[in-house]
Structure 1
Amino acid sequence: MSALCAAAFVTACGTGKTGTANPFFAEWDTPFGVPPFERILPEHYLPAFNEGMAREKAEIDAIVNNPAAPTFENTILAYDNSGQFLDRVSAVFGCVAGTDMTPELEEIQGEVSPLLTRHSSDISLDPALFARVRAVYEGRDTLCADSLQRRLTEKIYRNFVRGGAELSADDQARLREVDEQLSLLSIRFGRNLRGDNGDFVLLVDDREDLKGLPQNVADAAAAEAEHRGQKGKWAFTLDKPSLIPFLQYAENRGLRERLYTGYLTRCNHGDGRDNKAVLDSIANLRLLRANLLGYPTHAAYVLERQMAKTPEAVYALLTELWTPALDRAKGELAEMRAIKLAETGDSSFASWDWWFYAEKLRKAKYDLDEDQLRPYFALDSVRNGVFGLANKLYGITFRELTDIPKYNPANRVFEVIDKDGRTSLGVLYLDFHPRAGKRVGAWCTTFRSQSYDSTGQRVAPVVSIVTNFSKPTADAPALLTLDETATFFHEFGHGLHQLFSMVPYRGLKGVERDFVELPSQVMENWAMRPEMLALYARHYKTGESIPAELAQKIARSGLFNQGFATVEYLAASLLDMDYHTLGQSRPIDADAFEAASMEAVGLIPQIEPRYKSTYFQHIFSGGYSSGYYSYIWSEVLDADAFNAYVESGDLFNPEIAARFRTMLSRGGTADGDVLYRDFRGAESSMEPLLHRRGLK
């Protein structure tokens, strides 16, 4: 159904099929105005989406048909304020579909995606609307009252141009077709991955095959098997809390190979969930789209609006880091080969051996066993550490909300209160563990972004942090790995970015992709510092703080396995760029393309890219195309930013924290390099990053 029919449809369908009133059609009388999740049923979404598109169309029509001459208020600001009902519906559906997908929601997603794409194209390619936007843009020096109004005007104008507003009618028609195809292909890629990831299981029925595994890992596998109707066995899945410990500790090399191979070959089996043809189409359609818009490659199109600006700048950063990282990884491999040779008389080494012998190397070099650390990183303790760090830096506090709607019973929800003890900065949802229908990985999203109402009062955001951490067992709470702990700190940094936002216009909230990871990655710097560990790492049974000696061991092991971590990440970043710097349309054999890409940079066979092509969700269905490099670009900034605290002699320096918070509060009201210089007082240096990763 098109947006043109939506108004009539909504009149008839203000309630769902069951007769239940549609919550999207009423004011939300919930605490803090959060979505009334318990009242929202699947059949409510499509009518709400159609109503949202109808309302936004009416808002756009009002702008276009305004007889008054275009001004900032009646054109730019009116456009910036349009579509809020649709945004609300999309935010709720997007989160629930990502965390609790069902066949019914998948069907809705497939039906609504082309409608939304068509609706968006109708707006971005509306010639009368663009004419008014251009009129304000051309007169911005007199029509805009200040620099922020000019920036918003310029950004909206450029978005229209980049969206095809200046193309011929024929090219606009082709662009519409391409955008609709890309929308459906992106959904298909993610759906295939979710299905393939969820279906794989390694079932173990011989206790001898568990040799080497910590008891908590075996207990979790037994619980997973029982959940799958296989009581008395042990089930290992491709979710990281199950996969990584098995690769680290399982002495059965054949089973390590089976599990890791299952991970590496997701959506690459030549069946209905195979993503090779899907990504081939996506890459070629993106090139076609870029060419239609006047760009030589998709990467050139994307990067024009990022801090990096050009593909050449991205490749320059990645290649500068590649050689020292690969050299370090080869050194790590040599050390592990020596251990394997001494233990087995065989120095042959495969990718599924890396985690197993890396753990042995960690014990040998640092006398550090990650499984012995986990009792000090119970989930509640880590959460207390994350909240405690925010309090020490910014003075904010957290109050748990128990009588509030939740989109899943597993949610924990908190009000975030500013340092004055009265001002509510927003609401924070936490969703920690894997479950059926939940996509892999960790992310931060919003049900409502920060804004200002018509009276000038700040509307606080509603933020959600979603992870897939280790689950609790019958005998112990959820005990996190060091990597999961760092992930919690990371995603919480994204949450702070949203909670601190004080941006006057909706269109200026977003920042460049290669800046967006700065607020998250900087938080990881504190996670394993001895000063910080002393505040939150407590044994879940005794309540005792982590021994200072153990905290120092963690600190000394900070450079451990950094060659591997850097190389697998850079390999994926280079693969992303290679797909999106193709200058000519051609059939892509994903396996051959990936092999050639990795051979060109000399990737050793014992290391796989962090994401192989057929499950590289970030770039083929997650919004990071030509942007996976952004983590390392942002890491240059975050390492330099944290160095400001180190140089001051106070890791919790309140003056530096206040400046950093000010930077976060400004959103996209200035370019990322300007925001960073205003915070730091200088350009960022790469030296802190090189030292932190042991590459210098």
Structure 2
Amino acid sequence: MTSAFAKDAEQRIQAAKAESNPMLQKWTGPYEGVPPWDKMKPDLFPGAFAAAMDELRKEVHAVRDNPAPATFKNVNEAMQLTGGTIDRLFSLWGVQQSNESNGDVQTIDREWSPKIAAFYDELFLDPKLFQRHKAVYDKRQSLGLTPAQIRIVERDYQSFVRQGALLDVAQKAKVSEINQQLSVAFSDFSSKVLADEEKWIVIDSKADLAGLPDSFVASLKAAADERKLPGKWVVVNTRSSVQPVLSNATNRALREKVWRAFVGRGDNGDASDTNATIATILKLRAERAKLLGFKNHAWFRMDDTMAKDPARATDLMMRVWPAAVARVKEEVADMQAIADAEARKGEGAKITIEPWDYRFYAEKVRKAKYDLDEGEIKPYLELNNMVSAAFYAAGRLYDLDFKENTGEVPVFNPDVRTFVVTDRRDGSNVGLFYLDNFARNGKRSGAWMTTYRSQQGLGGARNVLASNNNNFVKGAPGEPVLISLDDATTLFHEFGHAIHGFLQDVYYPALGGTPRDFVEYPSQVNENWLLTRDVLDKYAKHYKTGEPMPQALVDKIEKSSTFNQGFATVEYLSSAILDMKLHDRDTPVTDPKAFEKATLAEIGMPKEMVMRHRLPQFNHLFSSDAYSAGYYSYLWSETMDADTWAAFEETGNVWDKATADRFRKVLLSTGNETDRAEAYRAFRGRDPDVKALLKKRGFPVN
């Protein structure tokens, strides 16, 4: 069937260019204006793209063609005041792509991504615009600028250079062509992975679900009912649905089936296979990096990071890797011993631990070593209570208050909840928080934070519109949603990103945001308060009895805090190491599948487990450039996180307000106003100590 979006592109552009297009309008309503989610429709975007690009082109050309001598105010500052309409539009489009996608959205994305890429290249490879910036850059030390303004001038200039401003006409055209081709490849990759994630695993017999908690079985039944599969149960091919099966299902064949579906996303030799797409992306990235004067894509991507050099990132990863692999061997030995004992007793077949057994037998080891299993913990982790717990911690540490106002403002899906955010110190509005917790068709997997509007002072103070997006499995009607400790940690992690956004206090938007290898740091720090006694007492209450989590259970959790850290570390690090090896090389990989296999063998990947993100489904790397040659940043950030948590612990009170205020003032609120390594040293008095990370994970500290 021919899509409505296959009509002539120019007709669609003209039809939707009208001023009445709600995707182009300034946001109205309370809280300084809110996105018109209730008016968002895919067919409104093509015309809106064209109109918004035309408006931005005029704004940028006004800066470029200003006859007055170039100054910070009429160049660097003026550029920061452009693009209001297109920024709002892309906030809407990002949600349409990630939270509410469908075939028409994917068609539009594939058509318009290269056009948008070409448009930005047209603007920012313009030699006249670059010369205006260069004029300010060349005389920056004599203009009486503040340190923040000089930082903007230097970063703006370097950004132009990184994009190709110093290239000749032919080279610029080639870079633009590559950027357009990459945008199509990114769109293709995302669509293919999403297609595989929407292939459910259907279970015909309830007996096959033995070992799974009743509440989770009910959610699988609800998922089947939603898909009009009466009398069936459905495991959705996303992490939050798959992991409970791998941890609890006694049916080994089911575990293997679910595991293979999950780790095989994008790697099935069919229309959704991503391997050829990955090879295309790698070839284009390598070609672009060399054109821009960089050794390879890793050097290109790391030019504006804390690590700077791929070798520094690799060195950190390889300092941790051997200890993590050694710990996995110990974990596997413990699991195999239990499996062998069960076989001897006739309680199970004789098996060798395979990847689909790891989580299942790890739970048995946890039970044996610490008298603890996930089934004991989940009844205390009801989703709504955990949301309240995250709000409580943010209030106590940073004076943020969250009050639900769902129903007052438009949302893009009925499941989305909204909260007004205020500063308790003076009652001022900080912004609005959107919470989209549940998995559904058309929503990409994983968990992420998005800012729809960021804080800035230039052009008039703006509040913040931020969201958290998760993929928890919705419970059966009337049943509570119980989440795992891992899911609760994810919730606190993503909320840490939101806190970072709400606390930003910069004047120039050019100094908002942070380097890629800093951005995960505040979110990882926030995870630490989840298991504090105060939070557990107030919010970890049994969903049936209302009793708080008993101290005996908390003690067992704390004693087991380093349990299975070999698995967790190797699962993540293998993905990060492959990312760097994939991009820090002279010639691009042409066979991603063979490269993955060979490289894992080279670094000694344990055969009993797989990467957290195999290459064929690694959205961080291949749905955009964002985390490419940057997945190491979680470990880089966690090194600062562990050292920061130690700073709180050293006070004798992890809620110490003086430390929290200093953390907020020096690191959380300052965006990128100063070099982030210098800012960390100002907070801690020194560089972060990797020993804190090793200690936290229970690895030997040399």
Same structural fold, with TM-score higher than 0.5 when normalized by the shorter chain: yes
Structure-2 change in CA distance of 1:28 and 1:584 (3 Å): closer
1:612 pairs, out of 581, 605, 614, with 614
Deviation at 1:248, TM superposition (A): 1.0
Q: Which amino acid aligns with 1:331?
A: E
Aligned runs of 1:147-546 on 2, under 5 Å?
Answer: 147-199=147-199, 201-345=200-344, 346-402=350-406, 403-452=408-457, 454=459, 457-546=460-549
- What SS does the corresponding residue of 2:404 show, helix, strand or coil? strand
Give the aligned partner of residue 644 of structure 2.
641
- Of stretches 239-248 and 561-570 in structure 1, the one that deviates more from structure 2 is 239-248
Q: Residue 370 of structure 1: CA displacement?
A: 1.0
| Structure 1 residue 7 displacement after superposition | 12
Give the deviation of 1:90 after TM superposition.
0.5
Kindly state the Cα deviation for residue 356 of structure 1 after the two structures are TM-superposed.
0.7
Task: Kindly state the Cα deviation for residue 588 of structure 1 after the two structures are TM-superposed.
Answer: 1.5
The one-letter code matched in structure 1 to 2:340 is L
Report the TM-score, using the length of structure 2 for normalisation: 0.95
Amino acid at match of 1:439: R
- Distance in 1 separating the partners of 2:205 and 2:12: 59
Write the distance in 2 (CA, Å) between the matches of 1:159 and 1:467.
33
- The secondary structure found in structure 2 opposite 1:31 is coil
Counterpart in the other structure of 2:601: 599
What letter is aligned with 2:383? L
Alignment equivalent of 1:692, drawn from 677, 690, 696: 696
Map 1:582-593 → 2, pairs under 5 A: 582-585=585-588, 588-593=590-595
Give the drift of 1:401: 1.3
The answer as to whether partners of 1:376 and 1:546 remain within 8 angstroms in 2 is yes
Secondary structure of 1:218 counterpart: helix
CA deviations 1:186-232 (Å, max 9, x no partner) are: 11101100011112x22222232222222122211112222222211
**1:544-587 per-position Cα deviation (integer Å, ceiling 9, x unaligned):** 211111111111111110001001111000110111012024x6
**Which residue identity does 1:462 align to in structure 2?**
L
User: Which whole-Å CA distance do the structure 1 matches of 2:14 and 2:223 have between them?
Assistant: 47
TM-score normalised to structure 1 length = 0.96
* Alpha-carbon offset, residue 470 of structure 1: 2.8
Task: Note the C-alpha offset of 1:39.
Answer: 2.1
1:97 aligns with 2:97: yes
Give 1:24 shift: 3.3
Q: Counterpart of 1:237 in structure 2: which amino acid?
A: V
The separation in 1 between residues aligned to 2:380 and 2:353, in whole angstroms, is: 33
Q: Is the 8 A contact 1:204 1:235 kept in 2?
A: yes
Aligned to 1:145: 145
Name the aligned partner's letter for residue 516 of structure 2.
Answer: R
1:4-23 equivalences in 2 (<5 Å): 13-15=16-18, 21-23=20-22
Structure 2's unaligned 5+ residue stretches are 1-8, 345-349
CA contact (8 A) 1:470 1:479 kept: no
* One-letter amino acid of the structure 1 residue matched with residue 277 of structure 2: V
Aligned AA (1:59): E
CA offsets 1:257-301 (integer angstroms, 9 cap, x no match)? 111011111111111111000000111111111100111110011
Letter of the structure 2 residue corresponding to residue 364 of structure 1: A
Tell me the distance in 2 between the aligned counterparts of 1:592 and 1:27.
50
Instruction: Please tell me whether residue 73 in structure 1 is matched to residue 73 in structure 2.
Output: yes
1:682 and 2:686 are equivalent in the alignment: yes
Alignment RMSD (CA, Å): 1.7
Structure 1: distance between partners of 2:631 and 2:179: 21
Preserved contact between residue 30 and residue 36 of structure 1 (Cα < 8 Å):
no
Structure 1 runs, 4 residues or longer, greater than 4 Å off: 6-12
Q: Report sequence identity in percent.
A: 39
Q: Kindly indicate whether the alpha-carbon contact (under 8 Å) linking 1:452 and 1:459 is maintained by their aligned counterparts in 2.
A: yes
SS in 1 for 2:468: strand
Structure 1 residues without counterparts, runs of 5 or longer: 1-5
What is the SS of the residue equivalent to 1:474?
coil
162-171 vs 73-82, greater mean Cα deviation:
73-82
Partner of 1:3: none
**Retained in 1: the 8 A contact 2:215–2:475?**
no
Partner of 1:132: 132
Partner residue, 2:668? 664
Is the Cα–Cα contact under 8 Å of residues 446 and 471 in structure 2 kept in the other structure?
Answer: yes
Kindly indicate whether the alpha-carbon contact (under 8 Å) linking 2:24 and 2:52 is maintained by their aligned counterparts in 1. Answer: no
State the AA in 1 paired with 2:602: A
SS at match of 1:465: strand
Distance change (3 Å), C-alpha of 1:592 and 1:7: closer
Deviates more, 1:150-159 or 1:416-425: 416-425
